Structure 1
Amino acid sequence: MMYKPFFKHYKHAILILASVIFSGCAAYASLNYNKLYGTPEPQQRMLDAGSFQAQHYVNNIKPIIDNRCVVCHACYDAPCQLKMSSAKGIDRGANKDKVYQGTRLLASNTTRMFIDAQTTAEWRDKGFSPVLNERLQSPEANTQAGVIARMLQLKQNHPLPNNEILDDSWDFSLDRDQQCPTIEEMSTYEEKYPKWGMPYGLPQISSIENDVLMQWVTVGAPMTAVAPPSSTELKEVAKWEAFLNLNSLKQQLTSRYIFEHVFVSHLYFDTEEVRKQEIPTFFKLVRSRTAPGKPINLVATRRPYDDPKVDRVYYRLVQVRETIVDKTHMPYALNNEKLERIKSLFIEPNYTITALPSYKPKVAANPLTAFTELPVEARYKFMLDNAQNTIMAYIKGPVCRGQLALNVINDRFWVFFVDPDMSNFTQVNSFYRSQAENLHLPAEKESNTATIANWISYSKQQGRFIRAKNAYMDERFKNGAHLTTQLIWDGDGTNTNATLTVFRHFDSASVVQGLIGEHPKTAWVIDYSLLERIHYLLVAGFDVYGNYGHQLITRMYMDLLRMEGESNFLSFLPTKNRHQELADWYQGANKNLTTYLEGDINTFDQPTGVTYTTSNPKHELLQMLKKRVENVTPTRYSLESTQLSNESKESLRKINKLRGEDASIFPELTFIMVEPEDASLDPQLFTLIRNSAHKNISSLFDEKSNRQYKRDTVTLVKGLLGSYPAAFWLIKESELPALVDQALKVKTNGDYERLLDKYGIRRTNSSFWSFSDALIKQYKHNYPIESGILDYNRIQNR
């Protein structure tokens, strides 16, 4: 390998140092690192991209870090805030404070990578401690005075116990205590937790990989940034920045609207020239104090609509400088067609912008107020064009995990949209303006503490809006006229965003195009105002660093929006069935919610225009809607599209027979790799999803008491669905009948463990990393633009 000549004179020193330094770490507990190696200060580690050392980092170091470290250390839920998905993140280091701390009374300071500080020295001022040596740059100091080096060697000296299931001394809960030792605390850590080297609770990396990383650390851990965009992409950047920063008020307001809706997305150029590249460069849309052509001077505010405190803000495209991880990756294509679409929606229509809206929270936090002069039809169609991205943003955008936010949705439901061409938007916009006082969102207030009182206040506000909306609909749909399935958007016959399936996996979730699985318990029908408010509640207005009150009232307000979407769906059913379904969906709801359900949410009594012929109208309705959108329903997750034999497909379909308490034994997400009998075929990937049933989902903290284990189901799909696998199976195609037979006989945890004994790749499996590499490689091969590094923080110890 190319790095050997460069590092060979250090290798002997490394081996000697490792044997001396790490054989008795406790002896160094009282080391005075300042006396031994000098006082710490950030080092210059960044290299010119064209240098030999930089290429060594890109080709040999970064792939190991991505596939062994980033799988746990990325996004806000990275242990110790150690984000290893970029060179700058590694150099920034760790912080003992948790980003996810739902009980804090005051909002915490933001620590967003590449936003809240630009240099390592600035991160030190914000309380981040180094994980690489920042003292004397010698081989001895770089290995002894660096946390990464010590953690790696600790794992090599104390590999995982030779047990299939680790004992209770291992804590894999997401809210576990995090030690986050500084280098001064490492000796105590090594003595107290000798088995807790890195990767934590996973097999040690290979000796070859360990040697490569140790050699890199020994010479000071030189790194380089991601490769710059191609010249073709830079031309596209210039074109889009020129458009987004035209001077007219119409353009400025349009660009502000676009920014506030795609700021969490990864933008890429889907042009013929860029498609020739193996993988496109991804960009983020940001606000800058500087115009195109000048270096970006980032406007770093807590929320995307906060006052930038400049006379003119410019919208710029900045390259994504981190490894793409699945849990935050939302690719959004930009091309000439998209540009023309935006112009046709926002720029070409004849209307006038009289003034740009204020950035005061009461205005800026509410899109129905801030953007009232933009055509409603344009706003709605813009979001519908990429509806999966719009909904996905509240799952992959401001958070990486969020049980407090996600227990507001059922485990699997279908989403439909009101057809924008069925509305008189002049009347609709007038109606929204009349309801301004009933459409306030929690983010308009910087802090919320009296949550129950706030919920009651917001529920009354939402109730007034629903009653007004129902009166508006009563007038429009007299005697059920036009209240038929024709009101549901069919994607204009081409757009696969017309229907979505949302899966909740306890404290994470997934949004996919199409109607996946059997008929769900609930469904949503979303119109413009609901889609807009969901985005501003859970994406634009949500603060992951916010206090307990903010996060709790956000979740509680989402209860109201969810019920609005459900109520829209129920409006298509016969009036007598609406109340029956709602009663089943909200069994045992608390008094406040029951009052709301029996009053405000249920006041629309116009008969449906849909004709039903059976005793199960919900089933009929879902079938009719499924038929309406069949031309734009993708088959990506269909078992029929797998390359396995028909007999194997039939075996796989049988797994969906898992029901009730038997199904509840299985984890949230199981990623399955099947090795085809035909050796010329690629491995086939599948996901087994457990759907947890609930009496209702209105309880914030006592989820277990609301569970209905006897109504649990599973959904098996082709491909990988979700970012957080809890279990892995590796199966030969010839083993599928036996696997399915054994899976359907699982009745106890012991039965499940025996299933894993035969087919599972546990976190302790010596083949874990080779399996992981094969899985991620195949995922990237199948979906090079959409895929990203998976997250292993939720792998079970079973």
Structure 2
Amino acid sequence: MSYRVFISLFVLLISSAATAQGTAPAISYTRDIQPIFTEKCVACHACYDAACQLNLGSGEGAARGANKIPVYAGERSKASEPTRLFYDAFGKAAWQRKDFYSVLDAQGSQAALMARMLELGHRTPLQPNAKLPEDIVLGLERENMCPMPGEFEAYAGAHPKEGMPLAVTGLTDQQYQTLQRWLASGAPIDQQGLVPSARETLQVVQWENLLNAPGARESLVARWLFEHWFLAHIYFKDGEPGHFFQWVRSRTPTGQPIDLINSRRPNDDPGTQVYYRLWPVQGVIVHKTHITYPLSPAKMARIKTLFYNGNWQVHALPGYGPERRANPFETFQAIPAQARYQFMLDNAEYFVRTFIRGPVCRGQIATDVIRDNFWAFFQAPEHDVYITDPSYRGKATPLLAMPGQNDDVGSVLSLWYAYRDKRNEYEALRRDTYANVPAPSWSSLWAGNDNALLSIFRHFDSASVTKGLIGEVPQTMWLFDFPLLERTYYQLAVNFDVFGNVSHQAQTRLYFDLIRNGAEQNFLRLMPADSRDGYLDDWYQSGGKFKMWLDYESIDNDKPTALKLDEKDPKRDFAQQLLIRYGDLNARPDPINRCEGAYCSRPNIDPALQNAEQALSRLTSRPAAGLKVIDQLPEATMLRIESRSGKREVYSLLRNRAHSNVAFLLGEASRYQSGLDTLTIYPGVLSSYPNFMFNIPAEHVPEFVAAMENAKDAQGFEKIVERWGIRRSHPQFWQYFHDLSRYIHETDPVEEGVLDMNRYENL
């Protein structure tokens, strides 16, 4: 049982006892209100895409209130003011100066806006486990209406079934009464910030001392480390469960209260002397922004070994500004490249998560540049010419600058062409240089730890990263070297401004297209020379061929590989050899999707669950042309399977959409190849945004699979939903939905967080 669940049950018991004695205990925000918000509200009201920017993961967010301006407005011509909770303002008055309005304050004789929204929802309950009325618009297509207190009556008249919680099983009577009593009493908030333990405080001081040590070398390394850690939810391996910390820049040193420097980007000019500080992450942990990173004495020793053992020198510290942001290879060129790359490889999953998974929360225009499923791995530092050859590094570094620093709308195309040409000049340099070094072999791939092999799954407007190789052999694979990994991280994480204007966001997206192409080109060098053009043609079908001619540098289709691969299908043979050679590093054996024989389930699990996995394997790796039900499925469906013994397993059922190419900014729907879509089924929660959920007794799984195989249309699929589906209106919806988080707690407690239900579909 997780800590949050324990607290919720404890509060319920205390409240029940008080009621039995005929007294109404004073309501505490921390004890009584936040647990309700966490259970029933945070799944929609968190991150930048919280409806109306109302973030209910903390007292600060509740008091801040709502705002009509959406964070995700990619067409805006001017960048908007950042509204990052716990960062860009503090306290109700400061937020109201940024156009937030209260949802907690009564308005004369009118109750608080939240009270009226909750009352509207409570008086219009949903029919249990029935499909919702079609006139209730859900998901990312829903208009951001955000009525102010004076506009509520008009909203309620136009949307009588759309109170809160929106279109989902609502509050219990007790929860409703508790919230209404609290709002009627003025909505007092007694929440205190998270306080580190004594042991954590000691480690905080040790790490702050490391990053704030005097000296030019120390200052440059600290700046680079901060820019690579600013998104991390830091935890100490012997710290308190649920305690996470975040690196920030402060005007004040260790031992004094943090005076936050709240710049737009972590590499903007701070305008003053900087101290790097760790402060506790406040509020409810939500999975979509929870990108974890461990700190320990071993990690500190590793950093000292990587960065301070050599005799390299810093003659002058670099400044700040657009040019420094655009090319971190020049900004940090004094730090040995091998140290920088090895540091990133040690926790490669973290870095790939920062730019593939979050913290954007919403981004179909960003994610449509990648395939729905692919594998990623990394070039070994000793085989990375940028690391090993100073002359090549000197030629390449000026070509590695990235766009997005100038957000002039009228300059988008000219900036794009300039950076595209510079990137292609680099690719030509890389191609010609690697043609004169030994051909790539298995030793060219980094195999330092279980971060070496990663699986990426795209779920339309979000994506996930997981250690290990999951699923059938994918259509494409990515090979990162240091210049590519660092550029991707800076372009999509450090330099990306979610509040930026259309020019900034378009430049970022267009360059990401070049990054993907670079990763594919790196991988193709591992394939036989005469197979490379064929693979490229497969990846860039239809209009993709024109895009190859227009924007991409030519590949090396002449120099051989040192890998011995089956000529008939070298990519598949490469994947199979990879799985064998690096089996000890593959954190995710996958017999369900890659069944090699009669047994398609994991050993050493409940026999009933083994039988379930065996049946589920019939649905994987089959194209939609032969498995029609795929056409009815959303991107990420969760299967909750429970045996009669009470053991349950959670599986992610992922729809992998096929595309003729992923080379264009717009028009994705025209590039679908739906008949080639497939399913991946894997134990675990592989998305922060479940689209639907089935609850299936283990003994029913063969029937479920048979029904899926036989469902040819929407009517056939609806029968499956009626029997096993957990619709938004299911009486136990929240119990099943939060069981996904409990499952994460049981299997990998550091990664636990409240999942997002903004994409939960009305099937």
- CA drift of 1:780 comes to 2.2
Matches for 1:653-668 after TM superposition, within 5 Å: 653-661=617-625, 662=628, 663-668=630-635
Confirm whether residue 59 of structure 1 aligns to residue 28 of structure 2. no
Residues 791, 405 of structure 1: CA spacing in aligned structure 2 closer, same or farther, 3 A cutoff?
same
How many angstroms apart in 2 are the aligned matches of 1:302 and 1:205?
38
Per-residue CA distance 1:615-646 (angstroms, 9 max, x = gap) = 11111122222223211111377651673323
Residues 396, 524 of structure 1: CA spacing in aligned structure 2 closer, same or farther, 3 A cutoff?
closer
Kindly report the root-mean-square deviation, in angstroms, between the aligned alpha carbons of the 2 structures.
Answer: 2.2
- CA drift of 1:446 comes to 3.8
Among 307, 312, 322, which residue is 2:283 paired with?
322
Confirm whether residue 258 of structure 1 aligns to residue 258 of structure 2. no
Identify the residue that residue 249 of structure 1 maps to in structure 2: 216
Identify the residue that residue 151 of structure 2 maps to in structure 1: 185
Residues 577, 631 of structure 1: CA spacing in aligned structure 2 closer, same or farther, 3 A cutoff?
same
Per-residue CA distance 1:71-99 (angstroms, 9 max, x = gap) = 00000111101111111001000000010
Identify the residue that residue 237 of structure 1 maps to in structure 2: 204
Among 668, 677, 682, which residue is 1:712 paired with?
677
Deviates more, 1:338-347 or 1:358-367: 358-367
* TM-score after normalising by structure 2: 0.93
Residues 10, 94 of structure 1: CA spacing in aligned structure 2 closer, same or farther, 3 A cutoff?
farther
- CA drift of 1:776 comes to 2.8
Residues 457, 423 of structure 1: CA spacing in aligned structure 2 closer, same or farther, 3 A cutoff?
closer
- CA drift of 1:504 comes to 0.4
Conserved? CA contact 2:530–2:558, under 8 Å: no
Per-residue CA distance 1:364-410 (angstroms, 9 max, x = gap) = 33211111000101000111111011010013434011011111100
- CA drift of 1:248 comes to 1.2
Confirm whether residue 91 of structure 1 aligns to residue 63 of structure 2. yes
Among 454, 461, 464, which residue is 1:507 paired with?
461
SS class of match (2:576) = helix
Among 103, 116, 124, which residue is 1:150 paired with?
116
How many angstroms apart in 2 are the aligned matches of 1:607 and 1:77?
48
Among 172, 184, 202, which residue is 1:218 paired with?
184
Among 642, 662, 678, which residue is 1:675 paired with?
642
Deviates more, 1:731-740 or 1:390-399: 390-399
Q: Between Structure 1 and Structure 2, how many residues are aligned?
A: 736
Residues 409, 239 of structure 1: CA spacing in aligned structure 2 closer, same or farther, 3 A cutoff?
same
How many angstroms apart in 1 are the aligned matches of 2:701 and 2:71?
43
Confirm whether residue 498 of structure 1 aligns to residue 452 of structure 2. yes
Conserved? CA contact 2:379–2:481, under 8 Å: yes
- CA drift of 1:752 comes to 1.3
Identify the residue that residue 525 of structure 1 maps to in structure 2: 479
How many angstroms apart in 2 are the aligned matches of 1:361 and 1:635?
41
Conserved? CA contact 2:264–2:497, under 8 Å: yes
How many angstroms apart in 2 are the aligned matches of 1:641 and 1:67?
35
Residues 458, 11 of structure 1: CA spacing in aligned structure 2 closer, same or farther, 3 A cutoff?
farther
How many angstroms apart in 1 are the aligned matches of 2:269 and 2:183?
43
Conserved? CA contact 1:69–1:84, under 8 Å: yes
Identify the residue that residue 644 of structure 1 maps to in structure 2: 606
Conserved? CA contact 2:470–2:589, under 8 Å: no
Deviates more, 1:123-132 or 1:225-234: 225-234
Identify the residue that residue 596 of structure 2 maps to in structure 1: none
Identify the residue that residue 563 of structure 2 maps to in structure 1: 610
Per-residue CA distance 1:309-344 (angstroms, 9 max, x = gap) = 01x211000110121101110111000000000100
Among 22, 27, 52, which residue is 1:80 paired with?
52
Q: Percent identity?
A: 36
Residue type at the aligned position of 1:648: A
Residues 217, 649 of structure 1: CA spacing in aligned structure 2 closer, same or farther, 3 A cutoff?
same
How many angstroms apart in 1 are the aligned matches of 2:312 and 2:258?
32
Identify the residue that residue 42 of structure 2 maps to in structure 1: 70
How many angstroms apart in 1 are the aligned matches of 2:635 and 2:604?
22
- CA drift of 1:221 comes to 2.1
Residue type at the aligned position of 1:555: R
How many angstroms apart in 2 are the aligned matches of 1:437 and 1:150?
59
Identify the residue that residue 475 of structure 1 maps to in structure 2: 436
Conserved? CA contact 1:11–1:215, under 8 Å: no
Conserved? CA contact 1:660–1:712, under 8 Å: yes
How many angstroms apart in 2 are the aligned matches of 1:449 and 1:11?
66
Deviates more, 1:630-639 or 1:328-337: 630-639
Identify the residue that residue 88 of structure 2 maps to in structure 1: 116
- CA drift of 1:591 comes to 6.8
SS class of match (2:695) = strand
Structure 1 portions without partners, runs of 5+: 13-51
Structure 2 portions without partners, runs of 5+: 1-12, 592-600
How many angstroms apart in 2 are the aligned matches of 1:183 and 1:198?
15
Among 517, 520, 525, which residue is 1:566 paired with?
520
Residue type at the aligned position of 1:118: F
Residues 10, 221 of structure 1: CA spacing in aligned structure 2 closer, same or farther, 3 A cutoff?
farther
- CA drift of 1:135 comes to 6.2
SS class of match (1:602) = coil
Conserved? CA contact 2:250–2:260, under 8 Å: yes
Conserved? CA contact 2:45–2:56, under 8 Å: yes
Residue type at the aligned position of 2:220: L
Conserved? CA contact 1:93–1:131, under 8 Å: yes
- CA drift of 1:657 comes to 5.0
Among 631, 634, 637, which residue is 2:584 paired with?
631
Confirm whether residue 293 of structure 1 aligns to residue 255 of structure 2. yes
How many angstroms apart in 2 are the aligned matches of 1:163 and 1:388?
38
Per-residue CA distance 1:248-271 (angstroms, 9 max, x = gap) = 111111111111011011001113
Conserved? CA contact 2:525–2:556, under 8 Å: no
Identify the residue that residue 743 of structure 1 maps to in structure 2: 708
Deviates more, 1:73-82 or 1:161-170: 161-170
Conserved? CA contact 1:671–1:685, under 8 Å: yes
How many angstroms apart in 2 are the aligned matches of 1:218 and 1:782?
41
Identify the residue that residue 353 of structure 1 maps to in structure 2: 314
Identify the residue that residue 766 of structure 1 maps to in structure 2: 731
